[in-house]
Amino acid sequence: MIQKKLLALALGLALFSCQKVSHEVVPEKPQGWEIYSTPKESSLRGLSPVTGDIVWVSGSRGTWMRTLDGGKTWDSGTIAGLDTVDFRSIYGFDAEKAVAVSAGQPAVIYKTLDGGKTWVLKHQASEKAFLDGISFATEDRGYVFGDPEDGRWTILETVDQGESWRLIDSLPQAAEGEAGFAASASSFIAEGDHLYLGSGGKEANLYVSKDRGNSWEKFKSPLQQGESSQGIFALTSTGKGEIIVTGGDYLHENQSEGNLGIFLPGDKKWINSETSVFGYRSGITFFPRFQWVVAVGPNGTDFSKDGGLNWEKISSENEGFHAVKMSQSEGTLWASGAQGKVGKLTF
């Protein structure tokens, strides 16, 4: 039964690929990354490509950066003068408007309307809060999720493009010793009315809501778990129901076992891939233009062209990428990482 499901998934992706890009020749594989010079050497975990030209990034030492010409030149600065704060999440609406979220203390959400010249505080969380990621389901409705407080996950919602934030009414319960990861700000995604949250630590679970967080189901993942360094670090949706999660143990970057899972929400079960990613992975995204899944981590980049069933390493150099995201226009794929590194996938 599982083999039939795997075959159906692969055939479905292949058919969808032919229908989606029949006007474009699909490359056999990505070539690698075009790396761009940026004015900051911060660790960049916040990443939000808007188009192939407009990209926002954020990171340590309060850093924000923006390019309007596809990475050739960059504007940069420090968000609200907070040069000791790590802004691990960012979401760009367009060239002028963006929302940035810090991870630790102070746990804050800022917004700019003028291309980063000024940033205005929109929310400040409690003294115990740690915010892990941001995701928008529509242009107006988005979410920020954070580590559990008093036994329940923190999930903030906005319906006005980040102008105001409130806790959702039905916060899912977390196990003791369970937490989120802000390694790439992508362990939580909002897709239509569906919300998906990946966890780690003592347990590595996938939390699923089909009704904007009013009700939740929890599914134990096959990823490494039990230690604070283990679990789900990132997840992505193929757009047809499958959720692919990745991570592992960041203290063992070259270990591959227990680093990948494919979840079928309709069947409420996990299926096994034929091969796995080649080490700990902190970021993953689906690229519908070519039906690729791309995962990044400290020891390189992997890609799959059959929905995560089989993986190939496309670069072996120690790139230090933390996050990988597709542009909202769906035409380009970008990555960000250590020492101010930003790259665009070439193919």
Residues 179-193 have pLDDT tens digits of 999 999 999 999 999
Residues 61-86 have pLDDT tens digits of 999 999 999 999 999 999 999 999 99
Q: Which residues pair with 294 in a beta bridge?
A: 285, 303
**Sheet (strand 321-326) strand order:** 32-36, 342-346, 333-337, 321-326
CA–CA distances in Å: residue 95 to residues 70, 156, 192, 213:
12, 24, 24, 30
Reported as a pLDDT band with limits 50, 70 and 90, residue 284 is very high
Flag whether pLDDT at 21 surpasses 60: no
- Return the CATH number at 132: 2.130.10.10
Phi/psi of residue 101, nearest 5 degrees: -130, 130
This prediction's pTM = 0.91
Flag whether pLDDT at 6 surpasses 50: no
User: How much of the chain, in percent, has pLDDT values that exceed 70?
Assistant: 93
Phi/psi of residue 46, nearest 5 degrees: -85, 130
* Structural domain count of the chain: 1
257-282 mean pLDDT:
96
Cα 1–chain centre separation: 31
Residues 228-257 have pLDDT tens digits of 999 999 999 998 889 999 999 999 999 999
Domain that holds residue 140: 2-346
Q: In the prediction, which pLDDT does 7 show?
A: 43
36-59 mean pLDDT:
97
